[in-house]
Amino acid sequence: MTQRAIGLGIVGLGRAFTLMLPTFQADRRIRLAAACDPLASVRARFAQDFQAPVYEDVAELCADPDVEAIYIASPHQFHAEHVALAAQAGKAVLVEKPMAITLAQCSQIVDIVAQTGVPLIVGHSHSFNGPVLHAARLLHSGQFGPVRMVSALNFTDFLYRPRRPEELDTAQGGGVVFSQAAHQVDIVRLLLGGLASSVRAHTGQWDASRPTEGAYAALLSFTNGAFATLNYSGYAHYDSDELMEDIGEMGQRKAAGTHKNTRLRLAQTNEAQEAKLKASRNYGGTDYQAPAATPPQHHQHFGYILVSAQQADLRLTPDGLMVYTGDERYFVATPLSEIPRVEVIDELWSCVREGRAPVHSAQWARATVEVCLAMLASNAQRGDIPLHHQVAAHLAPQA
């Protein structure tokens, strides 16, 4: 690396930051320059750990001249406001998915990015995963002929993990459609070229104590004639990581009993205890444990994904791609970096230091949010919902 590291400011030191922190610490292209969070104790921990200034107000962070780019990891409902502050201050933006929770907010962000000219990347979503990008490059090359269909399935305990109240309120961006479908939709759009045309979906709210969507099934049609089926349950007693060789979403081998113990722990807590439990495990919390500085053993994933092309089927695994043709099957490994989620920093670096257009741009993210909102609308209206803000996928050159 010959250019200086990107000075990164953090907005929100909660769960998303906790998951991205190992990446920021391991990648020499990033320097943690400042942070903003409403909790004084968490700000104090950051200042001590990174010898960097901390702020209570987002505008003050955006005014810090040592901050070149801002990672927005605040709750979903604040993304649009915080992106606007960062972009108007001339900072590059990395904002967590979903980019926003309404189409109007998404379009506001698209307009602000166009007006200011700042680079904006939306992620982490699991479309950054190495095997997803690997498969997309092979499919886009035409090596296996036209892509016809994608089948995506994930059964998890998502809804019974510790949640803040707003995470169980759809109007505030809660539930699995905003938090989980954003991953699946991003993945299938990237694999199938991006230009979805309509959605037909059902969503499930099956637990009155968790009053938001916990499951969905969707059929996503594309302008090129391809289609994708998306199935997700956050209520599941079955753990579909069995289909992924018992490798969990974060690329780690799962301990026996992990899935069933989630419900057992929740049953022993009330609402106040639940929110406190979630906070305690995040960065700066009483039960926070810094991740071990060990290279990942597998890629992260978002469940079972099978791509059907004209000349082959591709099954994505935590280690690469299983390819099935008419007369053979073979495995193609996806190279594994020593840095988790390195693909996010690859894209940020290419935009900020090399001037390239982002793959996960504001327009791309608006298209994904449009699909998620259309899933909710389709369930309510019991019909197909046409899409109007879709954009074609493009891939950055391989690092």
pLDDT digits (tens, 9 = 90+) for 163-173: 989 999 999 99
Q: How confident is the model at residue 275 (pLDDT cuts 50, 70, 90)?
A: confident
Residue 24: Cβ-neighbour burial (10 angstroms; 0-12, 13-18, 19+) = buried
Q: Spell out the residues 6+ positions from residue 21 whose beta carbon is closer than 8 angstroms to its own.
A: 283, 291
Compute the average pLDDT of residues 61-72. 98
Compute the average pLDDT of residues 264-277. 79
d(CA 24, CA 342): 9
Tens digits of per-residue pLDDT, 328-340? 999 999 999 999 9
Question: Residue 72's pLDDT is what?
Answer: 98
Compute the average pLDDT of residues 21-28. 96
Under 8 Å between Cβ of 149 and 331: no
Question: Residue 268's pLDDT is what?
Answer: 75
Nearest by Cα to 338 from 253, 254, 251, 255: 251
d(CA 202, CA 197): 17
Tens digits of per-residue pLDDT, 124-164? 999 999 999 999 999 999 999 999 999 999 999 999 999 98
**Residue 293's CB: how many other CB atoms inside 10 A?**
9
* Helix or strand run (H / E) with residue 245: none
Nearest by Cα to 194 from 373, 386, 378, 360: 360
Under 8 Å between Cβ of 376 and 170: yes
Phi, psi at 182, each rounded to 5°: -55, -35
Question: Residue 110's pLDDT is what?
Answer: 97
Domains of the chain: 6-126+339-364 (3.40.50.720), 127-337+370-386 (3.30.360.10)
Question: Residue 364's pLDDT is what?
Answer: 98
Mean of pLDDT over the chain: 95
> pLDDT above 90 covers what percent of the chain?
86
Q: Is the pLDDT of residue 65 over 70?
A: yes
Nearest by Cα to 194 from 335, 351, 394: 394
Question: Residue 269's pLDDT is what?
Answer: 81
Lowest mean pLDDT among 248-257, 262-271, 310-319, 351-360: 262-271
> pLDDT above 70 covers what percent of the chain?
99
